[in-house]
Homo-oligomer: A and B are copies of this chain.
Amino acid sequence: MNREIQLIKRPESTPNHDHLKILNTDTPQPEEEEVLLKTLYVSVDPYMRGRMNDVKSYVEPFKLHEPISGGVVAQVSDSKSSDFEKGDIVTGNLQWKEYVVSKANSLRKVDPTLGPVTTSLGVLGMPGLTAYFGLTDIGQPKQGETLVVSGAAGAVGSAVVQIGKIYGCRVVGIAGTEEKTRYLSEELDVDVTINYKQQNVKNALEEACPQGVDIYFDNVGGDIADTVYPLLNKFARIVQCGAISSYNIPNDQGPRLQMHLIKSSALIKGFTIGDYQDRFKEGFDHLSTWLKEGKLTYKETFQEGFENIPDAFFGLFTGENLGKQLVKVANPE
């Protein structure tokens, strides 16, 4: 007895239960150089929304009537590979199934001495690396500069604000609940927080950035980005990590931004974490060192149960998660 979650219809705007379906399926058997895995934790991430569209992108679109795949922590329950044995905890890009077979060479063992195994899906995984490379390589943070971060209390944003502090930036964090802004200011030492659902973002940003904006780490795009552009300093850098406010709006329109870039000789650079594949070790080493030293902390939000993966994913677009959103599917054996 096994279950999987398929994409059964492509969403045109906000994804909901019309688009994802839980199906009963067989438990597969591993062949040579494969392992059978029991799914423990599933990561839901905003970028997955893009894969639900049938358009050319940096990753292939999800196929209709096939399982969704994404970041997963799992336990080896049967191994036909000499690299893994029963009981090992691994992470990889895996299909959303309670039991799943994977090629051994696409998995990575999780080192449990570095922190809870879920950190391999968060601060020591894709979101942490995204924060590290986006901020350091594109953002080029310098002591005393003003860094604005949108989606600041999410998995990526909460790492960005802390790395910004490590580099000596004055950090302004934008988020959508009081719990999030309190977390940012009280636990992550963010200098100024803005609650975009309760404050006038334009006024609050102008007040928060009397010296202008040197770096904007953008997870959201949309109206919030529009209010940042006029505040850009000469040679400002915009790290275009995400644009979650546009993901569910076909042909989203807004003020044209080219003139802001010209006026401030500013740069916007999009990226995806695969661009930095050759440097993952460097990023991982920095993140795990900072974590050990207590300079980097993290929060996780859990839902429980395989059947709640879709709701956890949908919740990303209403801002329900504080830090990394995960679904706990099963206990290790």
27 contacts between A and B (CB under 8 A): A58-B263, A221-B258, A240-B258, A240-B261, A240-B262, A243-B256, A243-B259, A243-B262, A246-B256, A252-B255, A253-B253, A253-B254, A253-B255, A253-B256, A254-B256, A257-B257, A258-B268, A258-B270, A261-B268, A262-B271, A265-B269, A265-B271, A267-B268, A267-B269, A267-B270, A268-B268, A268-B269
Known: A269-B266, A272-B265. A258 touches B58 (CB 8 A): no
CB neighbours of A258 from chain B (8 A): 218, 221, 225, 240, 243, 246, 268, 270
| A157 interfacial by beta-carbon distance below 8 Å | no
Q: Is the CB of B266 within 8 A of A255?
A: no
1/0 per residue, CB under 8 A from B, across A258-296: the answer is: 111111111111111001000000000000000000000
1/0 per residue, CB under 8 A from B, across A29-60: the answer is: 00000000000000000000010000011100
Interface size on A, residues (CB 8 A): 39
CB neighbours of A151 from chain B (8 A): none
Q: CB-nearest residue of chain B relative to A266?
A: B270
Q: Is the CB of A256 within 8 A of B221?
A: yes
The distance in angstroms between the C-alpha atoms of A256 and B254, with both chains bound, is: 6
| A21 interfacial by beta-carbon distance below 8 Å | no
Q: Is the CB of B262 within 8 A of A272?
A: yes
Q: A58-B234, A246-B258, A260-B270 are in contact. List 12 more A-B contacts (CB 8 A).
A: A50-B262, A58-B263, A221-B258, A225-B258, A240-B262, A251-B255, A253-B253, A254-B256, A262-B272, A265-B270, A265-B271, A265-B275
| A242 interfacial by beta-carbon distance below 8 Å | yes
Known: A58-B234, A234-B58. A261 touches B256 (CB 8 A): no
Q: Is the CB of A259 within 8 A of B246?
A: yes
Q: Is the CB of B270 within 8 A of A262?
A: yes
From A57, A234, A265, residue with most partner B Cβ within 10 Å: A265
Interface residues of A in 195-251 (CB under 8 A from B): 218, 221-222, 225, 234-235, 240-243, 246-247, 251
The distance in angstroms between the C-alpha atoms of A263 and B53, with both chains bound, is: 12
